[in-house]
Chains A and B, each alone.
Chain A
């Protein structure tokens, strides 16, 4: 019996604003507890919310990037439920008029896990979205032996909820979805979307059913994943577990499970509770929103998206699809490449240096492209020195390593190390004359038809010049003189 898997995701993304959604408290990761609060985000009696325009703009921008329909009018509602991390015991959210509906996230090959990139089931797949709405984050709880402590610093951080259609069919697609989504969010500078910092959180709804069955299986929700790979492993675990249960004849019920990353398994949190009754109603403290001015502002900030960038790189810089995909994977890397490529006569060699030398140097140093010790212009300078014959390709590697270690410019390294090649023809001619005069036998051999003897003579010139003679030029001069 084959089983079909259906997965839908609810992704929460903290927006990159300076202040909270409904008050002026600073949004800061890792501040001392309860140092970023005010009457509003503590839910004090009499406090009132005011909307952060930037959060609305960033959500609108996200909607544009993901091809959503932006509602002409939206509003905020109160979602009523009691929990100690929710200061007002209602969350200000959007119920029936969310800011964005529809849209999709395209899954490109490199978004899949490395080990799965060779076996992508649906190349070019797009995962459709139901909606994107804006709400406020809750406080952080710390569970102690006999009590729970609450820090309200996070409470009120702008939070965007992105809900997918149940169109994801495997853990690998879920991985690719989150990777591709994250990439787009970073491209738009909407969020840093770091799962480990809780800036991007994901709940998964998953069900399996025999392929002969048309209705969906029992919906099981998994929470508490804190990395994209954790999401993949949790889903893989669940599929195996659920198929195992069904195969053993044990029916599944709707429930919520927690992913335990260390133990690599899910455990039961709660079975289907009495249906929530959130008693949504429009928040009378906040006026409704006409989105036209938000759209105008967001359009001016719409970045080139990863897919467009990949295509343009192939077109403009004559590099391979694969190279373009790797470069466009990270907006900062793409920007670095492009700055260099625009200034270099041969963009292809820039791509080679970035993809081979720079990426591996960054990887072994544990650095991101933002922390690269030298600017793109230095890389261009270095490649130019090679292309113009001032240094050899081999010397180039040495110069690159020194640049990476010290941040010095290529020119400075070359000068310091005295690497400048000897390309002065008259000086080289003198050296060649000296070598011809001192080596009658090889000269005779060469003239007698032994081409290899030229290499020996070239070597002698190099030696005499302490390695600085331009090898190509030296060869030409020798050939001319011995002809």
Chain B
């Protein structure tokens, strides 16, 4: 039994839109269990009075002026499309 019984690799893989084989699920369950065991050490740290760091530097209000700039010509925009038609990117039918 891994140290992270809460980690349900199968469910998480669905959230991440990643089809995993049974073998991959089993391997990841074990390996990530070890990683989470190591990570559990963080619980020992007293962070009650600590602000989280989301950015390496404390800078605010980095803005851009509302000036339109040149866009890609459509042939460049679509140059890497796996499938395209009528200047649109085409995917499998989306059923809402």
Q: Which A residues lie at the B interface, using CB under 8 A?
A: 17-19, 23-27, 32-38, 42, 50-56, 73, 75, 82, 84, 141-152, 258, 269, 277, 279, 282, 284, 286-290, 293
Are A38 and B91 in touch, CB under 8 angstroms?
no
Are A33 and B71 in touch, CB under 8 angstroms?
no
Are B66 and A18 in touch, CB under 8 angstroms?
yes
Which residues of chain B are within 8 angstroms of A24 by Cβ–Cβ distance?
Answer: 64, 67-70
Within B52-96, the residues touching A (CB, 8 Å) are 54-55, 59-74, 77-78, 85-94, 96
Top 10 nearest A-B pairs by Cβ distance?
A24-B69, A149-B88, A54-B66, A53-B63, A26-B68, A148-B94, A50-B64, A282-B54, A150-B89, A19-B68
Q: How far is the CB of A408 from chain B (nearest CB, A)?
A: 39
Q: How far is the CB of A301 from chain B (nearest CB, A)?
A: 14
Are A53 and B64 in touch, CB under 8 angstroms?
yes
Are A34 and B64 in touch, CB under 8 angstroms?
no
Pick from B64, B70, B74 the residue with the most CB of A within 10 Å: B64
Q: How far is the CB of B92 from chain A (nearest CB, A)?
A: 7
Separation of A90 and B66 alpha carbons in the complex (Å): 23
Can you identify 5 A-B contacts, CB atoms within 8 angstroms?
A24-B69, A55-B66, A147-B92, A149-B90, A269-B96
Known: A18-B66, A25-B69, A293-B61. A277 touches B15 (CB 8 A): yes
Which residues of chain A are within 8 angstroms of B38 by Cβ–Cβ distance?
Answer: none
Q: How far is the CB of B80 from chain A (nearest CB, A)?
A: 8
Are B93 and A152 in touch, CB under 8 angstroms?
no
Are A287 and B61 in touch, CB under 8 angstroms?
yes
Are B91 and A147 in touch, CB under 8 angstroms?
yes
Q: Out of A19, A144, A288, name the residue touching B66 (CB < 8 Å).
A: A19
Q: How far is the CB of A254 from chain B (nearest CB, A)?
A: 18
Which residues of chain B are within 8 angstroms of A144 by Cβ–Cβ distance?
Answer: 93
Within B11-68, the residues touching A (CB, 8 Å) are 15, 17, 54-55, 59-68
Beyond the given A146-B93, A147-B85, please list 15 additional residue pairs across the A-B interface where CB-CB is below 8 A. Answer: A18-B68, A19-B69, A24-B68, A26-B71, A33-B86, A33-B87, A51-B63, A51-B64, A144-B93, A148-B92, A149-B89, A152-B89, A279-B15, A284-B54, A287-B61
Are B85 and A149 in touch, CB under 8 angstroms?
yes
Known: A53-B64, A282-B54, A284-B55. A34 touches B74 (CB 8 A): yes
Q: Out of B68, B77, B94, name the residue touching A34 (CB < 8 Å).
A: B77
Are A147 and B93 in touch, CB under 8 angstroms?
yes
Q: How far is the CB of B67 from chain A (nearest CB, A)?
A: 6
Are B17 and A56 in touch, CB under 8 angstroms?
no
Separation of A78 and B91 alpha carbons in the complex (Å): 24
Are A33 and B68 in touch, CB under 8 angstroms?
no
Are B60 and A289 in touch, CB under 8 angstroms?
yes
Separation of A130 and B57 alpha carbons in the complex (Å): 32
Known: A42-B77, A152-B77. A52 touches B64 (CB 8 A): yes
Are A150 and B68 in touch, CB under 8 angstroms?
no
Known: A35-B74, A152-B77. A141 touches B87 (CB 8 A): no
Separation of A142 and B89 alpha carbons in the complex (Å): 10
Look across to chain B and name the residue whose beta carbon is closest to the beta carbon of A20: B68
Look across to chain B and name the residue whose beta carbon is closest to the beta carbon of A145: B93
Q: How far is the CB of A235 from chain B (nearest CB, A)?
A: 21
Separation of A143 and B96 alpha carbons in the complex (Å): 10
Separation of A24 and B65 alpha carbons in the complex (Å): 9
Separation of A50 and B62 alpha carbons in the complex (Å): 8
Separation of A142 and B64 alpha carbons in the complex (Å): 32
Pick from A23, A32, A34, A146 the residue with the most CB of B within 10 Å: A34
Are B71 and A35 in touch, CB under 8 angstroms?
yes
Are A38 and B72 in touch, CB under 8 angstroms?
yes
Which residues of chain B are within 8 angstroms of A25 by Cβ–Cβ distance?
Answer: 68-69, 71
Q: How far is the CB of A82 from chain B (nearest CB, A)?
A: 5
Which residues of chain A are within 8 angstroms of B85 by Cβ–Cβ distance?
Answer: 147, 149
